[in-house]
Amino acid sequence: MQESFFELTDGLFENLQGDEVLLVNFSGEVSDFIRFNRTLVRQAGTVHQRHLNIELIEGGKHLSGTITLTGRQEMDVPIARAALARLRERLPNVPEDPYLLYATEPRNTEHFGTNNLRNRDEVLGEILRAGEGRDMVGIYAGGGIYRGLANSLGQRNWFQTYTFHLDWCFYHEKDKAVKTSYAGFEWDHGQFAGKVDSAVGQLEMLAMPARTIKPGEYRVYLSPDAVNEFVSMICWSGFGLKSHRTKTTSLLKMISDEAKLHPLMTIRENTREGIAPNFEPSGFIRPEEVTLVENGKLHDCLVSPRSAKEYGVETNGAAAHEGPLSLDVSGGDMPKEDALKRLGTGVLIGRLWYLNYSDRPACRITGMTRFATFWVQDGEIRAPMNVMRFDETAYRVLGENLLDLTRQRDFIPSSSTYGGRATSSSRMPGALVDNFTFTL
C-alpha cells in the first residue's frame, strides 16, 4: 500500500498550480471479521479498504474531500485528479481560515509493525472450543491497519500495525452476562485460556441469586475495563488546550487548584507504546509521550494545530478533538491477584456503561454497572449484583478515596469498527476505591 500511495500523491503534486499546497492522508486496512452468536459463526469475511483525504490550500483558504480507492492505479489516479480539480474549482468561494496551521518543515517517518498474527482459522477454532456448551456472542477483528501522509512540501510519513481484538460475552440470562475482551499484537494460547477460565468462573457465579444493595457508599474494586470507561469520560474535553482556555474543561477545579487527584495518578498520551500513528493529518509529528497529569497534578495539555494557531503556542500533534489516542494510566503497588483480598467487603465492578457528566464543571460523572458485577464479602465473591447507578466525581474516585492501583495494567485497544478499525488504545490498572457512591 505504501508504494502505491506515494506514487499516487507524486502524480497529484505534479498537477498543482501557482502557490497551491496539497496535504494527502491515507487510511486503509486488511481485516478479518468474525461474528459469533450462540457459539456459532454468524458472519465471517475479510475487508480490504483504502481511503484518501485530499486537502488543497492556497494562502489562508483550504478545502478537503475524501475518496475511496480501488487499489488499482489506472482507476485511482483519474479519480484523485478529478477530486483535486473539484477542490480547485470551489476554493475561491470559501473564506480565509484564521486558524489554519500545517507543517511547513518536512519530517519524514516510517513505522512498520511486525505481523505476528495467527492464521484466522486457527484463532477461530480456539474461540469455538472456548464457547462449547455455552451461549457465547462476540466479534473478532484482526489484521493490518495502514496510515500515510504526504504533502507537496516534501514530507512523507507511513505507519502500519497488526493487531487483533476479540470482544465476547458468556450469556447467562436476562441482564446477566460475563463480558470479556482479549487484544494485542500476538495471540497467546495461555493468556486467552486464562481469560476464558476467569469468565467461566464468573459465569457460574451468575447462576446464584442476585443481590440488590441499598444506595450509599461502598468500597469497590474497579477492573481495568471499568477504570478505562471512567478515565475516558474525563478525556472528553478534559485535557485539550481549547477547553482549558475557554474554561469548558471538566477539570476546571484542577486549573484553579481547588482540587487534585491522588499522587498515584499519572496520566499520559503514550504514543510510543500505542497503536496510533506518530503524525497527525496536518503533518505535525507527535512526541513519544505527553504527560497530562503527574502525581495527581495537571501537567500539560493536548494542543491541536488549530488551537496552537489560535492561542499562539506550539502544537504537540494532538488530534482535532484534543483527546488522547494512546491513553496511559500508571500502575500502583497492589498485585492484581490481591484485589479481592484488599477489597474485603464491597463491590467488584467489571464494567461501567452509559457514562455521562452529571455536573461537568465539578467533573461529576454518572453511569451504571454492567456485566458481572459482584458482591464480595471477606475477600470472596458471594453473589452477583443487579444493575446499580453511580454518581461520583473524579476527585473522589481518582483522588481522596483512591486506595491503590494494580501493578499490572491491561492493554485495551478500541474495539470500534465504525468506518474502519480504530487505532486508539489504553493501558489501564485496576483501582481500589473507598466510599464509592451508588445512587439507585
Q: pLDDT, tens digit, for every residue of 176-197?
A: 899 999 999 999 999 999 999 9
pLDDT at 175: 82
pLDDT for 63-107, tens place per residue? 999 999 999 999 999 999 999 999 999 999 999 999 999 999 999
Kindly report the pTM of this predicted structure. Answer: 0.94
pLDDT at 286: 97
Q: Which fold has domain 2-206?
A: PmbA/TldD fold (3.30.2290)
Averaged pLDDT, 193-209? 93
Q: What are the sequence ranges of the domains in the chain?
A: 2-206, 216-438
- 160, pLDDT greater than 90: yes
pLDDT at 345: 98
Banded pLDDT at 372 (limits 50, 70, 90): confident
- Among 328, 349, 341, residue whose Cα is nearest residue 429: 328
pLDDT at 234: 97
pLDDT for 300-330, tens place per residue? 999 999 999 999 999 999 999 999 999 999 9
- 395, pLDDT greater than 90: yes
pLDDT at 53: 98
